[in-house]
Amino acid sequence: MNQENQVTGATVWLTGLPSAGKTTIAYELATRLREEGHRVEVLDGDEIRTFLTAGLGFSREDRHTNVQRIGFLADLLSRNGVKTLVPVIAPYADSREAVRKRHQASGAAYLEVHVATPVEVCSERDVKGLYAKQAAGEISGLTGVDDPYEAPESPDLRIESHTQSVQESAAALHALLAERGLA
């Protein structure tokens, strides 16, 4: 194990629809990276909304603010040698681009990963019951259904989580990190 890699931070932003598999893949990768001796944090979007961005709604402006706050924290951690995995929808391209630019300005590595799971598959998985609630008219503004999701045009990696296992998805992401000298 290369000692230098242990202190090289990076942000890996996993974007995709609700129930795409972002968080599951992030935790699988985190386990592997920790086993290799890396310092790792997972900034789970649901946890962040509970603690760091409580009070924000789901308007475009609030979603942008949420993403920028998470991006700030991810950049801070990454600059301090932590592999920061961010499974957060971040539905708007301009919000994600602002986070990328923040990382570029600070010199921190940043990778954007699109967990490109079709909405039909996400709806079947429906981990949090959001698709069912939206279909029943209980909620509105569900990303990718009745609220926009701007898929990345040229992510660093596109994962088709519906065609491969969680382990295969995490391995593909680990391979990208290794290729970039980050794992």
CATH number for the domain that contains residue 105 = 3.40.50.300
Is residue 2 included in any domain, yes or no?
no
Is residue 125 included in any domain, yes or no?
no
Annotation-wise, does 55 bind a ligand? no
Report the C-alpha gap between 150 and 76 in whole angstroms. Answer: 26
Strand (E) positions, the chain? Answer: 10-15, 40-42, 83-87, 109-115, 157-159
Enclosing domain of residue 166: 10-117+148-177
Residues of the chain with pLDDT under 50: 1-6
Residues in the chain: 183
Annotation-wise, does 37 bind a ligand? no
* Packing angle, helices 60-79 and 93-106, rounded to 10: 20
Annotation-wise, does 18 bind a ligand? yes
Annotation-wise, does 19 bind a ligand? yes
Report the C-alpha gap between 123 and 81 in whole angstroms. Answer: 37
| Model pLDDT, residue 52 | 85
Annotation-wise, does 59 bind a ligand? no
The answer to whether 109 and 9 have CB atoms below 8 angstroms apart is: yes
| Model pLDDT, residue 53 | 86
